[in-house]
Amino acid sequence: MTLNQQRKLKTILTGLFAWSVALVLFFPIFWMFITSFKTELQAISVPPSLFFEPTLDNFRIVQERSDYIHHAWNSVVTSFGSTIIALIIAIPAAYSMAFFPGKRTKDILLWMLSTKMLPAVGVLVPIYILCRNYGLLDSKTALVIIFTLMNLPIIVWMLFSYFKDLPKEILEAARMDGATPWDEVVKVVLPLSVGAISSTALLSIVLCWNEAFWSLNLTASDAAPLTAMIASYSSPEGLFWAKLSAASTLACAPIVIFGWFCQKQLVQGLTFGAVK
């Protein structure tokens, strides 16, 4: 075999391997998707059926039984709402820490991150009781507040690590050009950071969308987002796999498709710029 043939073979083997890993990892999602178009009987057939006449009944039933639209709307409101609020709070903080660092900046950042290490269960009881006392149980307001605080440290970190990598000379050039601090932020920093801010926002939306602990514990029906709706399908009332799959597909599809489009930025963002 020549060196060239060896290289070709290597590429083919790498490809085959990569594809098999990807397909194995993707299989459960694929299967969920397929099952959602089956009848309940086909869904539990052994051996599993791959060829069948697809039906949309399950989706209709899910909408009727659990009001998918209602829960999806809750998910959208809580994810987007808390993300926007968190960004508004985080951008000034990240900006001032990145461009005007003091002696304590590093400590403050690590402290912020350490609040993420604080397990939610540690404060579940007081939060539950506070929500109950203020009539916020099963309300979107409570979820928005909690999601905002939950993601704030990560958002500050991501923006900070991005701002920090902005070439300082560009800001100095703006200053020499007569820009006030406000001009600097609005006309230089923000336009340069559109990508970073949107990938931070995307990550925050994904984390909120999939958040389960607080959604399960603080909501019942009115404010329940999709994670909580899906959990209601876990009760063993018989084998409703097709409907379960349809509900799951509906719950995940928006965020998975969303994630596909921005997976690259998401990974970079989530590693705080440590991996380029």
Partner 1 sequence: MSYLTITDLQKHYENYHALRGINLSISEGEFVVFVGPSGCGKSTLLRTIAGLESSTGGSIELDGRDITEVASSKRDLAMVFQSYALYPHMTVADNLSFALRLAKVSDAEIKEKVRSVSASLQLDALLERKPKELSGGQRQRVAIGRAIVRQPKVFLFDEPLSNLDAALRVQMRLELARLHKKLGTTMIYVTHDQVEAMTLADRVVILNAGQIEQVGTPLELYRQPNSRFVAEFIGTPKMNLIPANRILRNEDTLSIDIFGQQISFPANRLKGPLPDSVVIGIRPEHMSLVETDGDLTGRIELVEHLGSEAYAHLQLSSDQTIIIKAPARTELKDGQEVCIKIDTSELILFNENDRVISVIPEEA
Partner 2 sequence: MKRSITRLLMAPSVIMLLVWMIIPLSMTIYFSTIRYNLLYPGQNNFVGLMNFEFFITDPGFVPAVSNTLILLLSVLIITVVLGVMLSALIDKPFFGQGIVRVLLISPFFIMPTVNALIWKNMMMNPVYGIFAWISESLGFEPIDWLSSYPLVSVIIMVSWQWLPFAILVFVTALQSQDTEQKEAAQMDGATGWHIFRYLTIPHLARPIAVVVMIETIFLLAVFAEIFVSTGGGPGYDSTNLAYLIYNQALLQYDVGVASAGGLFAVLLANIVAIFLIRAVGKNLTV
Residues that bind partner 1 (CB under 8 A): 167, 169-170, 172-180, 183, 187-188, 191-192
Using CA atoms, how far apart are residues 247 and 179, in angstroms rounded to an integer?
A: 53
Site for partner 2 in 49-88 (CB under 8 A): none
* Residue burial 215-238, b: 16+ Cβ < 10 Å; e: rest: beebbeeebbbbbbbbeebeeeee
Stretch that binds partner 2, among 57-65, 133-141, 191-199, 204-212 (CB under 8 A): 204-212
Exactly one of 6, 9, 10, 172 binds partner 2 (CB under 8 A); that residue is 10
**192-206: b (≥16 Cβ within 10 Å) or e:** ebeebbebbbbbbbb
Q: How far is the CB of 19 from partner 1 (least distance, A)?
A: 35
The interface partner of residue 164, options being partner 1, partner 2, none and the CB cut-off 5 to 8 Å by kind, is partner 2
Judged by CB under 8 A, does residue 204 bind partner 2?
Answer: no
180 binds, among partner 2, partner 1, none (CB under 5 to 8 A by kind): partner 1
Among 8, 172, 222, 271, binds partner 2 (CB under 8 A): 271
Least Å distance, CB 11 to partner 2, is 6
Assigned token pair, 30: 């694929």
Q: Is the dihedral of CA 70, 72, 74, 80 positive or negative?
A: negative
Rounded CA-CA distance 138/132 in Å is 9
169 binds, among partner 1, partner 2, none (CB under 5 to 8 A by kind): partner 1
Q: Which does 175 bind (CB under 5 to 8 A by kind): partner 1, partner 2, none?
A: partner 1
209 touches which of partner 2, partner 1, none (CB within 5 to 8 A by kind)? partner 2
Least distance in Å: CB of 9 to partner 2? 12
| CA 203 – CA 200 distance, rounded (Å) | 5
What tokens were used for 189? 């920093």
Residue 1 binding partner per list partner 2, partner 1, none, with a CB distance cut-off of 5 to 8 Å that depends on partner kind:
none
Question: Which residue, among 92, 222, 195, 212, has the nearest Cα to 147 in the 3D structure?
Answer: 212
In this structure, are residues 215 and 224 in contact, taking their beta carbons and an 8 Å threshold?
yes
Q: How far is the CB of 252 from partner 2 (least distance, A)?
A: 5
CB nearer partner 1, residue 70 or residue 175: 175
Provide the 10 A C-beta neighbour count for residue 188: 18
